[in-house]
Amino acid sequence: MNSKERIAKALSVASDTRVFEMGEGFVSKVPEVFASLFPGRMPLVVADINTWRVAGQKVYQLLLEAGFETGVFIIPDREFHAEWKYVMMVEEALKASGTVAVALGSGVINDLCKLSSSHLGQSYVCVPTAASVDGYSSFGASIAYEGVKQTFDCPAPVAIVADVSVIAAAPKEMTAAGYADLAAKIPAGGEWMIADAFGTEPIIPEAWHVLQDVLSDLLADPEGVSAGEPSAIASLFEGLTLSGFAMQAARSSRPASCTDHLFSHYLDMTHHTYRGKLQSHGFQVAIGTLTMCAFFDEFCKLDLSTLDVDALVKAWPTLEQEQKRALALFEDFVDPKLGYDVITKKYQGPEDVRRELEYYKAHWAELRDAYRAQVYPFSKMKRLFEIVGAPSDPSHIGVTRSQLKAMVPKTQLMRWRINLLDLALRAGIYDRLVEAVFGPGGAWDLSKEVKDN
Ligand SMILES: [Zn+2]
């Protein structure tokens, strides 16, 4: 299947997005796409100071030339983040002019347009300026509300018009971040396979295949991505867009994220900065992704066919014990009840745990082979990140290995979804895995702390 066929197939599983056009010089397509989807409506180009210069002005001119009475809204601040006040600003601008947004920018501008448009009961056209995140085509917007980043439910854009020339010219570190966000789908897929084996979140075939069947191909040219070659950038952007379509098909982010992303959520929630700057979503996710690849490496070295299921079930804690553990673990965290709420939702009793462990014990060889086939070894993922210029060590985002180690038990309890760490706790191998990853000779050997330079 070529890219065109893949996209056509992918659009058939996407519930919100109907048009996805991608190619060099494609900003020229914005007026006809807008006209076909919003007959009789007028566009409002929403940009920031930078993206206005990069492509916004051009799109504005094209829309004017096509006869649209076009408005412009530029975020007034040079430094801004996905915050509620900007959603309100965009919403006011759209409401006052009765227009439809043409989102000209990266993930933040897109999320602002996504949520404000949804508040007004309308859709919008997305014109991405960087292959930096998978959020363009995803269901939901990630916005900080009263200082806490949250994902608000809202439909993906009805149309995405991706100009590869514009996207390829984005700052290299934005592209590297997008590459890492796409690579995260590798271990995230492995963890979805675990939830599927447990039966808690069965794999949804159309959401799985649209992305996972082509994911390795779309990650296969890190040199091209690093060099900003249009064909490599197009593959990367296609992968990010397919991730969003998979999320639309599943109506959840399960196809695109698991524990890999929870390290990033932790850093967001604790307002982590490095050299005075918040670190991009993709850069944070890079470290979570590498960490989960390392965990899978160590996990696949073990033999679960010899589990003593009776003893493990006997040792399995009660819900009350787990709630107590969660409260202690999150005691000093910004949201002290988070772990408690999560474990209350995802706790399973001894009979479920017995069934899951017996399944793993009986099918270990095939399950292990399937995880090995899905999840890249740590060494391979690290090499890919080095080539594209994404972080390949936690020090690159200002996190020490011991800080990373301290996050691990929290990530197990930050989302109700079943993950590899849940399985490790059931199988009595959790401490061994942590020791293997952070101990002598491990991927994040604590005694070999790296200094960033
Ligand atoms: Zn992501």
Which tens digit of pLDDT belongs to each residue from 133-150? 998 999 899 898 887 778
pLDDT score at 10: 86
Closest CA to 118 of 96, 81, 90, 146: 90
446 — pLDDT class (breaks 50, 70, 90): very high
The number of distinct structural domains making up the chain is 2
Final residue of a structural domain among 154, 170, 186: 170
- With respect to residue 132, please indicate whether it lies within any of the assigned structural domains: yes
End-to-end CA distance of the chain: 43
CA of 242 to the centre of ligand 1 (A): 13
Structure token pair of residue 447: 């005694």
Q: What percent of the chain has pLDDT over 90?
A: 91
Note down the domain range covering 427. Answer: 177-201+254-448
pLDDT score at 13: 87
CA of 141 to the centre of ligand 1 (A): 11
CA of 133 to the centre of ligand 1 (A): 6
pLDDT score at 453: 63
CA distance 370 to 376: 12
30 and 147 assigned to the same domain: yes
- With respect to residue 145, please indicate whether it lies within any of the assigned structural domains: yes
CA of 288 to the centre of ligand 1 (A): 11
Within 8 A by CB and 6+ apart from 347, the residues are 319, 322
pLDDT score at 378: 98
User: What is the pTM assigned to this prediction?
Assistant: 0.95
6 — pLDDT class (breaks 50, 70, 90): confident
163 and 306 assigned to the same domain: no
31 and 159 assigned to the same domain: yes
CA of 12 to the centre of ligand 1 (A): 23
266 and 396 assigned to the same domain: yes
79 and 151 assigned to the same domain: yes
Please provide residue 109's backbone torsions phi and psi, each rounded to the nearest 5 degrees.
Answer: -60, -40
pLDDT score at 29: 98
CB atoms within 10 A of CB 144: 17
Structure token pair of residue 51: 């993206």
101 and 191 assigned to the same domain: no
CA of 260 to the centre of ligand 1 (A): 9
Q: What percent of the chain has pLDDT over 70?
A: 100
292 and 399 assigned to the same domain: yes
Contact 47, 72 (CB under 8 A): yes
The residue-averaged pLDDT of 273-297 equals 97
408 — pLDDT class (breaks 50, 70, 90): very high
181 and 53 assigned to the same domain: no
229 — pLDDT class (breaks 50, 70, 90): very high
Q: How far is CA 203 from CA 197, 206, 421, in A?
A: 9, 9, 19
275 and 154 assigned to the same domain: no
401 — pLDDT class (breaks 50, 70, 90): very high
- With respect to residue 274, please indicate whether it lies within any of the assigned structural domains: yes
CA of 446 to the centre of ligand 1 (A): 27
CA distance 384 to 221: 9
Question: The CATH number of the domain where 97 resides is what?
Answer: 3.40.50.1970
**337-363 pLDDT, tens per residue?**
999 999 999 999 999 999 999 999 999
CA of 98 to the centre of ligand 1 (A): 32
CA of 182 to the centre of ligand 1 (A): 7
266 and 188 assigned to the same domain: yes
CA of 194 to the centre of ligand 1 (A): 20
Burial of 202 (0-12, 13-18, 19+ CB in 10 A): exposed
CA distance 426 to 235: 39
CA distance 243 to 237: 10
CA of 353 to the centre of ligand 1 (A): 30
Structure token pair of residue 282: 């993709």
pLDDT score at 314: 98
**53-97 pLDDT, tens per residue?**
999 999 999 999 999 999 999 999 998 989 999 999 999 999 999
CA of 383 to the centre of ligand 1 (A): 20
CA distance 143 to 151: 6
The residue-averaged pLDDT of 248-272 equals 94
CA of 397 to the centre of ligand 1 (A): 16
- With respect to residue 218, please indicate whether it lies within any of the assigned structural domains: no
CA of 150 to the centre of ligand 1 (A): 13
The residue-averaged pLDDT of 425-441 equals 98
Phi-psi region of 348 (alpha: psi -120 to 50; beta: other; left: phi over 0): beta
78 and 99 assigned to the same domain: yes
- With respect to residue 185, please indicate whether it lies within any of the assigned structural domains: yes
- With respect to residue 244, please indicate whether it lies within any of the assigned structural domains: no
When the pLDDT of each residue in the chain is averaged and rounded to a whole number, the result is 96
Contact 98, 70 (CB under 8 A): no
CA of 107 to the centre of ligand 1 (A): 10
3-state secondary structure the chain: CCHHHHHHHHHHHCCCCCEEEEECCHHHHHHHHHHHHCCCCCEEEEEEHHHHHHHHHHHHHHHHHCCCCCEEEEECCCCCCCEHHHHHHHHHHHHHHCCEEEEEECHHHHHHHHHHHHHCCCCCEEEECCCCCCHHHCCCEEEEECCEEEEECCCCCCEEEEEHHHHHCCCHHHHHHHHHHHHCHHHHHHHHHHHHHHCCCCCCHHHHHHHHHHHHHHCCCHHHHHHCCHHHHHHHHHHHHHHHHHHHHHCCCCCCCCHHHHHHHHHHHCCCEECCEECCHHHHHHHHHHHHHHHHHHHHHCCHHHCCHHHHHHHCCCHHHHHHHHHHHCCCCCCCCHHHHHHHHHCCCHHHHHHHHHHHHHHHHHHHHHHHHHCCCHHHHHHHHHHHCCCCCHHHHCCCHHHHHHHHHHHCCCCCCCCHHHHHHHCCCHHHHHHHHHCCCCCCCHHHCCCCC
The dihedral formed by the CA atoms of 75, 77, 48 and 166, expressed in degrees to the nearest 10: -170
70 and 14 assigned to the same domain: yes
CA of 319 to the centre of ligand 1 (A): 31
- With respect to residue 418, please indicate whether it lies within any of the assigned structural domains: yes
CA of 121 to the centre of ligand 1 (A): 26
CA of 17 to the centre of ligand 1 (A): 19
Final residue of a structural domain among 151, 170, 189: 170
451 — pLDDT class (breaks 50, 70, 90): confident
Residue written as tokens 């017995």? 354
CA of 174 to the centre of ligand 1 (A): 13
CA of 89 to the centre of ligand 1 (A): 25
CA of 13 to the centre of ligand 1 (A): 20
Within 8 A by CB and 6+ apart from 360, the residues are 197, 304, 307, 367, 423, 427
**142-186 pLDDT, tens per residue?**
898 887 778 899 999 999 999 999 999 999 999 999 999 999 999
- With respect to residue 368, please indicate whether it lies within any of the assigned structural domains: yes
CA of 69 to the centre of ligand 1 (A): 36
Q: How far is CA 292 from CA 162, 319, 342, in A?
A: 31, 26, 20
CA of 22 to the centre of ligand 1 (A): 21
CA of 278 to the centre of ligand 1 (A): 16
